[in-house]
């Protein structure tokens, strides 16, 4: 026994020095291994960003690029259409809390009906697998004035509710939001459900013995357990609403009627490719980039402040 | 305080019957240990008492109420889970307060209770910590604290020590015994560790395949196991078993194991007479097989030659693993006993301590 202790001592003292040494070489080696990846990332991501910023400070005058300083940005601030687009993006952010709450709700329902969940899972997840243009086209038909939804409403005597969902400037944006939520929900549900499945069942049993009701259980156990995922999903959803909704709008409304469903991405598309104002388009691109970067930065900030309590 | 009665309790999962007609009366203030091999239905039984599983049939009575349809929180029970099941995002204080808060207990009262319990369990300095900042032993204490802070009539524990290392387990064992002596509530304690059962229980329930085999005080279970299963399950090292034929010669009864014969003790003749010329299973605990000069004098007529296979020096005693004919024998010998492996030595069986089981039913004759 004594001999063995000594032996382990030797090994451990030897290894502390070695470990320090190894840490250093590990560091260099790590950098070395990272270098190619860093290079790729720099060239793939940094180059376009630099170019984007550069364009946003110029205008194209008969094929010639000219520096104009912040004129493109100033122009944007005075453009009602851009302001409408920005406002619409902001309104789309209302989808985020709705998505979070609905995802958690459905995830809990599926969790509690765990026996059949394989079948439900595919149904919930299906919309997420469909291509957005397909979804957009299908919903355009559904929401047309003489579309399926209104047909149904009329046939059950609710004809008064048969509105022109996509052509009414007050209704178009909410209608688009419904489609976005329908499509994006599946991802959230799967995300929350997979986290729920890894929550030890005994926690729920302990809560039951402690006398917690359905609400108390989920409020006190489930939600805290999901906190990290809620944050992650919220960020993803925020970014989606800011810079990933082009397809929905383009397919369903083209930004109309009027500018009632105009969003920043569609604005970029129109400025850049319809009016050939690449400078303006780039300026919007830069703004979107900055906004999403801030969101991502904030999420890291918040995350760093929280300690994960999940085992 | 309460007694607990299980009456004809049955539990099926799907088509499989897991708990088969369990009848059990647990006295008030009793420390009852439910022991049995993995998968025998101990947890299921406990969970039915807790209200975490419904009964397929039968009834459970706590105090003087049938609780089959009573919500777990109203049964006057608390449970300590194997993995503690502490709420990870709450600190120790909040973990203990959760149930009390839900029961709408005044804050001051909650505070008082938690501080008392924390004091008792020596976890006062841990109250502001989260579970992940605790060691295994500390978590264990907190889990017990969370259960007893509710002042349950019946405390249920499902293998609460199995996640601790050996040393801590022994320590917590005595602490739980002390705690029970102080709190005097009824405890139902599930374990698959027969040592825990022997040391902690005022009574032990041995279960196998969903059927209760025996209910008795530890010493009685040890001395008078009702069947082969209980005999083999309780006691460590386990009992030795030898197949014998009961032979009557010259008014004496002998147990014939093939290559050796052992004289049955005279006071057992009447019980054995009915089995003459039949096969029986003889059981003998390791401490009742002896080696050495003294043994030769005392038990000289029950001598068996055996080959030493392994010798374990445990300091306080020596375990000899032997082979006699086709039987493996374990002998618990005094410290200082010398034996060389591959050597053949005589061992002597204290025939007054043997158990005899019927071969077919595996039930004990004595
Ligand atoms: N929810 C369930 N559905 C189906 N079968 C189950 C369920 N829970 C337990 N079982 C089965 O019931 C049997 C008894 O389980 P139980 O957990 O009561 O055993 P145990 O005696 O506590 O064993 P261990 O010592 O391993 O904890 C096992 O065969 C198990 O597979
Ligand atoms: Mg179990």
| Tens-place pLDDT, residues A140-163 | 889 988 888 988 998 888 878 888
Q: Measured from the CB, is residue B52 less than 6 Å from ligand 1?
A: no
Closest-approach residue (CA) in chain B for A310: B88
Strand partners, A107: none
Q: Is residue B117 within 8 Å of B147, Cβ to Cβ? A: no
Distance from CA of A196 to the nearest CA of B (A): 14
Portion 225-264 of A in contact with B at CB < 8 A = 225, 227
Neighbours of A198 (CB within 10 A): 9
Residue B93 is predicted with a pLDDT of 96
State which of A128-132, B171-175, B282-286 shows the largest mean pLDDT.
B282-286
* Chain A contact probe: residue of B50, B84, B98 with most A CBs at under 10 A: B98
Contact between chains at A205 and B77 (C-beta distance less than 8 A): no
Query: A202 contacts in B (CB within 8 Å)?
Result: 81-83, 85
Which listed ligand is nearest to B81 at the C-alpha? 2
Residue A62: per-residue pLDDT? 79
Q: How close is the nearest chain A Cα to the Cα of B88, in Å?
A: 6
The residue ranking higher by pLDDT, B48 or A3, is B48
**Among protein residues, the one whose CA lies closest to atom 22 of ligand 1:** B43
Report strand pairing: B355-358 vs B279-284.
antiparallel
Instruction: HSE, CB side, 13 Å, CA atoms: give it for residue A236.
Output: 13
Q: A221 vs B87: CB contact, 8 Å cut-off? A: yes
Query: What confidence tens digit (pLDDT) does each residue in B304-333 have?
Result: 999 999 999 999 999 999 999 899 999 999
Average pLDDT estimate for A111-130: 75
pLDDT band at B1 (very low <50, low <70, confident <90, very high): low
Tokens of A262: 């105009």
Residue B130 to residue A227, Cβ atoms within 8 A: no
* Residue A304 binned pLDDT confidence (cut-offs 50, 70, 90): low
Average pLDDT value for residue range A282-309: 81
Residue A16 has pLDDT above 80, yes or no: no
DSSP string, B247-284: EEETTEEEEE-SS-EEEPPGGGHHHHHTTTTSEEEEEE
Name residue, tokens 């995300």.
Answer: A191
**Does the Cβ of B366 fall within 6 Å of ligand 1?**
no
Three-class DSSP category at B58:
strand
Average pLDDT over residues B236-244: 94
Check whether A305 has a pLDDT greater than 60: no
Contact A183, A138 (CB under 8 A): no
CA dist A213 and B7 (Å) reads 29
CA atoms within 13 A on the CB side of A247: 14
User: Average of pLDDT values for B206-213?
Assistant: 96
From the CB of B41, is ligand 1 less than 6 Å away? yes
H helix or E strand, kind and range, residue B175: helix B166-183
Give the model's pLDDT for residue A71: 86
- A92 preceded by cis ω (within 30°)? no
**Residue B65 to residue B49: CA distance in whole angstroms:** 12
Query: In A, which residues are within 8 Å of B99 by CB distance?
Result: 209-211
Residues of chain B positioned with their CB less than 8 A from the CB of A310: 88
pLDDT at A11: 42
Using 50, 70 and 90 to split pLDDT, how confident is the model at A15?
low
Domains identified in chain A and CATH numbers = 79-304 (1.10.3720.10)
Cβ separation of B87 and A311 shorter than 8 Å? no
Set of chain A residues whose Cβ sits within 8 Å of the Cβ of B70? none
- Which residues lie below 8 Å from residue A243, measured CB to CB, with a gap of 6+? A264, A265, A288, A292
Please name every residue paired with B306 in a beta bridge, in sequence order, or none if there are none: B345
Going by alpha carbons, the residue nearest to atom 6 of ligand 1 is B13
B269-295: average pLDDT? 92
Cα gap A98→A76, rounded to integer Å? 30
Higher pLDDT, A164 or A226: A226
Per-residue pLDDT tens digits for B326-355: 999 999 999 988 888 999 999 999 999 999
Which range among A62-71, A185-194, A199-208, B122-131 shows the weakest confidence by mean pLDDT?
A62-71
User: Which tokens belong to B204?
Assistant: 């032990």
Q: What is the DSSP letter of A311?
A: -
Q: Can you give the pLDDT at residue A1?
A: 42
Give the separation between CA B275 and CA B132, rounded to whole angstroms: 61
Tokens of A214: 């359905």
pLDDT at A65: 85
Per the model's pLDDT, the better-predicted residue between A113 and A167 turns out to be A167
**Sign of the alpha-carbon dihedral angle for A218, A224, A229, A235:** positive
What tokens were used for B201?
């229980």
For residue A46, the tally of other CB atoms under 10 A from its CB is 10
Tokens of B238: 């386990």
Q: Mean per-residue pLDDT for B284-290?
A: 95
Nearest Cα neighbor of A88 from A278, A263, A287 is: A263
- Cβ <8 Å between B130 and A202: no
Q: What Rg, from alpha-carbon coordinates, does chain A have?
A: 26
Report residue B178 as tokens.
């002390």
Q: How many CB pairs under 8 A join A and B?
A: 65
**ipTM > 0.85, yes or no:** yes
Asked whether the predicted pLDDT for residue B53 surpasses 50, the reply is: yes
- More confident: B44 or A71: B44
- Taking the centre of ligand 1 as the mean of its atom positions, its distance from the CA of residue A199, in whole angstroms, is 20
* A294: enclosing H helix or E strand: helix A278-305
Q: How far apart are the first and last CA of chain A?
A: 37
Written as one string, the DSSP assignment of B93-148 is HHHHHHHHHHTT--HHHHHHHHHHHHHHHT-GGGTT--GGGS-HHHHHHHHHHHHH
* pLDDT class of A116 with cuts at 50, 70, 90: low
- CB contact residues (below 8 A), chain A span 135-174, against chain B: none
CB of A208 within 8 Å of a chain B CB? The answer is: yes
Token pair in block for residue A252: 């369903």
Mutation target to probe the B interface, by most B beta carbons within 10 A, among A195, A211, A215, A223 is A211
Kindly state the tokens that stand for B134: 């605790």
Q: Which of A205, A212, A309 sits opposite B102 (nearest CB)?
A: A212
Tokens found for residue B150: 């509710």
Q: Is the pLDDT of residue B211 over 60?
A: yes
Lowest model confidence (mean pLDDT) among A67-71, A288-292, B129-133: A67-71
**A80 close to B (CB below 8 A):** no
Q: Is the CB of B38 under 6 A from ligand 1?
A: yes
B261 against A117, higher pLDDT: B261
Q: In this model, does residue B182 exceed pLDDT 70?
A: yes
Across residues A219-226, what is the average pLDDT? 94
Q: For residue B40, give the ligand 1 atom closest to its CA.
A: 21
Query: A222: which residues sit within 8 A by CB, 6+ positions away?
Result: A104, A108, A196, A199
Nearest ligand to the CA of B44 is 1
CB distance B40 to ligand 1 below 6 Å: yes
Chain A residue at shortest CA distance from B143: A206
Q: What is the tens place of the pLDDT at every residue in B107-159? A: 999 999 999 999 988 899 999 999 999 998 899 999 999 999 999 999 999 99
User: A1 to chain B: which residues are within 8 Å by CB?
Assistant: none
| CA B62 to centroid of ligand 1, rounded, Å | 23
Examine the pLDDT at A3 and tell me if it is beyond 80: no
Contact assessment for residue B295 and residue B349, using Cβ atoms and an 8 Å cutoff? no
Give the integer Cα–Cα distance in Å for B160 and B284: 32
Ligand 1 atom closest to the CA of B207, numbered from 1 = 21
In angstroms, the Cα distances linking B102 to A48, A184, A201 are: 57, 36, 20
pLDDT > 70: what percent of chain A? 88
Q: Cα–Cα distances in Å, from B166 out to A304, B9, B136, B172?
A: 38, 34, 12, 10
- Report the residue among B17, B22, B44 best suited for mutation to probe ligand 1: largest number of ligand atoms under 8 A from its CB: B44
pLDDT at A10: 40
Chain centroid to CA A284: how far?
Answer: 19
User: How sure is the predictor about B39, in pLDDT bands with cuts at 50, 70 and 90?
Assistant: very high
A306 touches chain B (CB under 8 A): no
Q: Which residues of A fall within a CB distance of 8 Å from B81?
A: 202, 205-206
Atom of ligand 1 nearest to the CA of B13: 4
pLDDT at A157: 83
Q: What is the rounded average pLDDT of the residues A263-271?
A: 93
Residues across chain B: 366
Question: Is residue B42's pLDDT more than 80?
Answer: yes
* Cβ contact, residue pair B85, A225, below 8 Å: no
Task: Determine the distance from the C-alpha atom of residue B256 to the mean position of all C-alpha atoms in its chain, rounded to a whole number.
Answer: 33
User: Which residues of chain A are within 8 Å of residue B78 when distances are taken between CB atoms?
Assistant: 209
A203 to B87: CB separation less than 8 angstroms, yes or no: yes
Q: What is the mean pLDDT of residues A3-14?
A: 43
Mean pLDDT of A165-192: 91
Instruction: Quick: pLDDT tens for A93-104.
Output: 999 999 999 999
Q: Give ion ligand 2 contacts, CB < 5 A.
A: B 43
Taking the CA of residue B46 as reference, the ligand 1 atom at the shortest distance is 18
């Amino acid at each position: 026994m004594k001999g063995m202790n000594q032996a382990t001592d030797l090994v451990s003292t030897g290894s502390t020095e070695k470990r320090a040494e190894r840490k250093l070489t590990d560091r260099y080696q790590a950098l070395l291994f990272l270098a190619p990846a860093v290079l790729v990332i720099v060239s793939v991501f940094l180059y376009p960003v630099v170019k984007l910023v550069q364009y946003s400070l110029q205008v194209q005058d008969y094929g010639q690029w000219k520096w104009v300083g912040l004129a493109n940005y100033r122009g944007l601030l005075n453009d009602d259409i851009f302001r409408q687009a920005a406002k619409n993006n902001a309104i789309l952010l209302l989808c985020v809390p709705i998505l979070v709450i609905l995802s958690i709700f459905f995830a809990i329902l599926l969790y509690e009906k765990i026996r059949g969940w394989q079948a439900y899972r595919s149904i919930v997840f299906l919309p997420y697998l469909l291509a957005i243009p397909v979804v957009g086209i299908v919903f355009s038909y559904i929401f047309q004035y003489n579309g399926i939804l209104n047909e149904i409403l009329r046939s059950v005597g609710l004809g008064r509710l048969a509105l022109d969902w996509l052509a009414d400037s007050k209704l178009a944006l909410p209608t688009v939001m419904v489609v976005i939520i329908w499509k994006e929900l599946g991802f959230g549900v799967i995300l929350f459900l997979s986290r729920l499945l890894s929550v030890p069942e005994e926690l729920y049993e302990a809560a039951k013995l402690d006398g917690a009701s359905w609400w108390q259980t989920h409020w006190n156990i489930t939600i805290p357990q999901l906190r990290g995922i809620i944050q992650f999903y919220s960020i993803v959803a925020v970014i989606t609403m800011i810079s990933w909704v082009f397809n929905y709008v383009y397919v369903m409304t083209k930004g109309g009627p009027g500018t009632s469903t105009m969003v920043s991405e569609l604005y970029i598309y129109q400025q850049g490719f319809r009016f050939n104002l690449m400078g303006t388009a780039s300026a919007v691109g830069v703004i979107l980039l900055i906004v999403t970067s801030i969101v991502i930065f904030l999420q890291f900030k918040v995350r760093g402040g929280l300690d994960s309590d999940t085992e | 305080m309460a007694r607990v009665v299980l009456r004809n309790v049955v539990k099926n999962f799907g088509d499989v019957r897991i708990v088969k007609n369990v009848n059990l009366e647990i006295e008030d203030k009793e420390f009852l240990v439910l022991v049995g091999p993995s998968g025998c239905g101990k947890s299921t039984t406990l969970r039915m008492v807790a209200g975490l599983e419904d009964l397929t049939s039968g009834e459970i009575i706590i105090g003087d109420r049938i609780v089959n349809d009573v919500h777990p929180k109203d049964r006057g029970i608390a449970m300590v889970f194997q993995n503690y099941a502490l709420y990870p995002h709450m600190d120790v204080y909040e973990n203990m307060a959760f149930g009390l808060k839900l029961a709408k207990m005044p804050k001051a009262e909650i505070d008082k209770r938690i501080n008392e319990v924390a004091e008792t369990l020596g976890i006062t300095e841990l109250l502001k910590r989260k579970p992940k900042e605790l060691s295994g032993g500390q978590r264990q204490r907190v889990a017990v604290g969370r259960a007893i802070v509710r002042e349950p009539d019946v405390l249920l524990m499902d293998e609460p020590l199995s996640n601790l290392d050996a040393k801590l387990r022994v320590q917590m064992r005595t602490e739980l015994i002390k705690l029970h002596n102080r709190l005097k509530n009824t405890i139902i304690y599930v374990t698959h560790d027969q040592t825990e059962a022997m040391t902690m229980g005022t009574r032990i329930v041995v279960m196998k395949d969903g059927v209760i085999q025996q209910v008795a005080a530890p010493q009685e279970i040890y001395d008078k196991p009702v069947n082969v299963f209980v005999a083999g399950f309780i006691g460590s090292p386990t009992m030795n078993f030898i197949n014998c034929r009961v032979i009557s010669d010259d008014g004496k009864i002998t147990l014939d194991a093939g290559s050796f014969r052992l004289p049955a003790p005279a006071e057992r003749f009447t019980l054995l007479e009915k089995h003459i010329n039949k096969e029986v299973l003889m059981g003998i605990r390791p401490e009742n097989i002896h080696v050495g000069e003294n043994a030769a004098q005392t038990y000289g007529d029950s001598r068996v030659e055996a080959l030493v296979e392994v010798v374990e020096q445990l300091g306080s005693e020596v375990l000899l693993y032997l082979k006699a004919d086709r039987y493996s024998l374990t002998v618990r010998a005094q410290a200082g006993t010398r034996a060389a492996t591959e050597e053949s030595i005589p061992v002597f069986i204290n025939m007054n301590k043997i158990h005899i089981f019927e071969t077919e039913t595996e039930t004990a004759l004595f």
